[in-house]
Structures are given as C-alpha cells and as structure tokens.
Structure 1
Amino acid sequence: MRPIICLGDSITGGQDLRLYLKWPGVLAAMLAARCGEAAPAVINCGIPGDDSGGMLVRLADQVLAARPSLVVLLGGGNDTARGIPRERTAANLAAIAAQVVAAGAGLLGLQYHLVVHPEAEDQAWRHLPANNDLLAAAVRAHGGRIVDTAGAMARAASAQPPAELVAPDAVHLNPGGELVYARAVFDALEAGGWLPELAIRGPATRTTESAG
C-alpha cells in the first residue's frame, strides 16, 4: 500500500523518539489499531527549522519519489521569522500542492496553533500561525482539505493545562499536543472516506464478519 507522508518542520518532525512519539508516529499506531495489516505506513518528513522553500526543494526526492497515497502538509510557519515575503511563501505552498496532486496523491493541509502559557507569554512564538491563510488557500485551490489543528489545540487547551500540550514557546508540541494532532488527522482521514476502505481489508473487520 502506498504510504502517507507528513511534510513539515519541527511541529511534524525532530523530536527525540526515546522520549515520546511525534504525531505522525501516533497516527501510524492509530491506523494500525484500526486497519490491522491493511494500514498504510506513515513516513515523517518533518525537518526542524524548514521553511516553505526548503520543503519545495526536497519535495521530489523525499516525498513524491515514495509514491504517497496522501501528503499531510504543514509549512510556512518559519517563513515569517526569516522575513520571507508572503508572496513567495504563497508561491512555494502553491507549487507544493500542485506537484502533490499532479503526482496522484491526496492532500491534507494542517494549521499552526498558538497555545500560550499564561506565565510565559513573553516566550510565545506568535509568528508561527501568520501564514495559515496562505497554506489553506494553496491546499484548497488544488482540491485538498484543511484540518483545523489550530482549533483542535484551542479546544484541548480549554480543558487541560497548556503545559500538557506545548512547550513554553506556545508551539512546539508536548505529548498531549502530539495526541491532539494525531487525532485530528485520523478524524480527517475517517471523514474523507479513507479509513472505511482500509478497514474493510483489515483483519479486525474480517474477524467481526466471520463472527457475525
């Protein structure tokens, strides 16, 4: 089965996996639990500090060469801090989306969150969500779907301390935040009709059918 590839920056990749799984790893576990042997591999192509231009440069070799069935994109967050003009960011994200779709893959775009610690407001990376609108526009213009991970994080923050979700910088994910992201993407796959197709071929479903 063709893999799911998650393309992004440090919100997607870069964590020391001896501490806890990044959200693509959690998503892989959720898919395995739901779909059994039919679950697709989930490949993490997140590189800390990467911007939209860097993602575009490595798209062909690191992502499209693996013939993904779906690309989950979160990019453009680091562009603002580097002074990259919004017009260039928009063009980079649009090029990524166009190439993904032209390669025959589905496309999901995520949205950067901001969950501020009340005691560490001065440490918050408030620039990260600034290009969410550009990412959403690029994905939708090429027939993809947006997953409101920013909203999911905001809802989670209303029910638990911010420190369970993010670091003091308000953006880098702690274990609770990784779970929120994985759940949001999983739910989007289910809503988009991906999971029922996979589950039909999974051993858990066959067992249920034989028992019935």
Structure 2
Amino acid sequence: MGSAEEKLETVESKEWYISAYASDGVPTSDHLKLRSASVSLAIDSIPDHHVAVETLWISIDPYLRATMTGTNDGLYFPQFNLNQAILAFGIARVIRSKDSKYSDGDIVLSAFLPVAEYSLLPCDLLTRKLDPASGIPFPDYLSSLGIPGFAAWVGIEILGQPKSGSNVFVSAAAGGVGMFAGQLAKLRGCKVVGSTGSDDK
C-alpha cells in the first residue's frame, strides 16, 4: 500500500466487509466482499482523539470466523454488523492525528484495525506505539509476539509445563499457534510430534 501524501485530502480505500453471516462458521466469497470507500484525511474531518491511519500489516486469525456467524454463544468478541468493515489485529502508520499522544508517522498496533487501506480510528482502540529502534520486525508483533505466539506460550509454559525429555503432541501443528507451540516445547528439551489436517500441510 502506498503512503498517502500530505497534500492528499481524500483517498479511495479498499476494504473487506461482511455482507452476510456464515452460520456454519466458514465464511466464503458469499459472505465477505471487497469495496472501495472514500476516506477524508483532511484534519477538519478527523474527530478529536482520533487518528487517520494507513494499514501496513493485518493478522487474519482463526477467531475471526466466530465473529461472522450471527450468533453470540459465549464469544469473547462481538459479532460484526452486516455491511461493517472487518476488524482485526493489525499495524498501521499514523497519517494525521487529532490526539496529543500520537504524531504523524507513528507506527501503532491495534486489536480493532479495519481490514482496509486507510481508516479513521479512535485512539482508545490503539494498543500501543511500536518503536522502530527496538530491532523487532513489526510483523513479529502479529505473530510470535501476537495472538499465535501468546496462545502457544500459555499452552506450553503456563498450562502444560512439559519436562525435558517428555513427549509433546501438537495438533494443527502447521497453524500459527501450533508452529510456535512446537518450537517452545523443543526449547524445553521435549520430543515433539505434530499432526495436520492434510498431507500438503
């Protein structure tokens, strides 16, 4: 995605939205659609305590499927509204800010970033600023330092706590969480066996 120039007041932003609920939990092109929307980057169009951002990276995690079924059975994230842009964990660059805590050019992490090229976000939906000087590649905040890595860490280090030399079985080992779980178990000196859903995986 190209950077928005300072002089640009309005951009056409492609975004993914939900057009129909997938009651069986498997969204397809019948449920998810791509559209173009105009986003004003003019400073007067940005509400106070909001930022205009350009999306850099998005993490499409398995939990999103459960937010598109139209039911709320014990779900820790609410259902998306029909015609709403999908929200996901992502990293964005601040283009313009109406909040003193954020400046143009800041790189920010959000758990509720629209799956869109450009968007306006309330600052209370921003998780944190990311430091380019940290030496940590930004995508790592969505993988090893994001939901997949955290879920694997909880499973191995907090719940499982396997001893060195023990056998650890990881289901869905080709997935994001499974791959990290296997690596964490190996670091503990365990023998790891994983399963996948197909020979290709």
TM-score by length of 2: 0.30
- Name the structure where strand makes up a greater proportion of residues: 2
**Whose Rg is larger?**
2
- Name the structure where helix makes up a greater proportion of residues: 1
Which of the pair has the greater relative contact order for Cα pairs under 8 Å at 6+ separation?
A: 1
